[in-house]
Amino acid sequence: MSDLFRDHILEHYRRPRCHGTLEAPDARVEDANPLCGDRLVMDFRFEDGRIAAVRFTGTGCSISQAAASLVCEAIEGRSIDEVKGMTRQDMLDLLGVDDLGPVRSKCAMLALKTVKAAAWGVARWDDEEEESA
């Protein structure tokens, strides 16, 4: 089990990047983790097939909020297609952890689910739920 309370996760939790909302966003996606009450709201601006801007607000544990900060920072400027193809492993790499148990995984993957829902233009994206092998 990797140590989730490493400096960069706590740093992103304390000083999240891309935090806030966008005025008149092209998409607003909200998702929540019913188990522990993690909640994320993300605003997106799309330009020429790219994520021109993304901002998030939310409440929840440090993993869920740090993951949102990390993934938003990573996707700003990237193409929508790239975001569509992001995987669970990409999220783990951003967090800098080898793997997560099924419960903590839900906290960590909430942000990825939210950005993928926006990229695919759907209200909800559930495919990152499956546990690791």
Partner 1 sequence: MSHVSRHPAGASGSPDAPVVAPGPTGFDAREVRSRFPLLTQPREKPLVYLDSAATSQKPQAVLDAMDRYYRTCNANIHRGVYGIAEEATALFEDARRRFARFVNASPREIVFTRNSTEALNLVARAWGGWALRAGDAILLTPMEHHSNLVPWQMLAAERGLELRFIPITGSGELDLDALPGLFADGRVKAVSFVHVSNVLGTVNPATELARIAHEHGATVILDASQSAAHMALDVKALGADFVACTAHKMLGPTGIGMLWGRREILEAMPPFLGGGEMIRTVSLTSSTWNELPWKFEAGTLAIAEAVGLGAAVTFLEGLGMEHVFAHDRALARYAMERLAEVPGVRVLGPPADRRGGVVAFTVEGVHPHDVAMVLDRDGVCVRAGHHCAQPLHDQLGIPASARASFHCYSVPEDVDALVTGLAEVRRLFA
Tell me which residues touch partner 1 (CB under 8 A). 3-5, 10, 35-38, 59-63, 104, 107
Nearer to partner 1 by Cβ, of 4 and 112: the residue is: 4
CB of 126 to partner 1, least distance (A): 20
Residue 69: its H or E element: helix 62-75
Q: Which helix (H) or strand (E) holds 42?
A: strand 38-47
Pick between residue 40 and residue 51 the one whose CB is nearest to partner 1.
Answer: 40
Shortest Å distance, C-beta 6 to partner 1: 11
Choice between 61 and 83, CB closer to partner 1: 61
Q: Which run of H or E residues covers position 52? A: strand 50-59
**Separation CA 125–CA 13 (nearest Å):** 23
Shortest spacing between CB 4 and partner 1, in angstroms:
6
Q: Which is nearer to partner 1, 37 or 102 (CB)?
A: 37
User: Rounded CA gap, 124 and 98, in Å?
Assistant: 26
Please provide the distance, in angstroms rounded to a whole number, between the alpha carbons at the two ends of the chain: 14
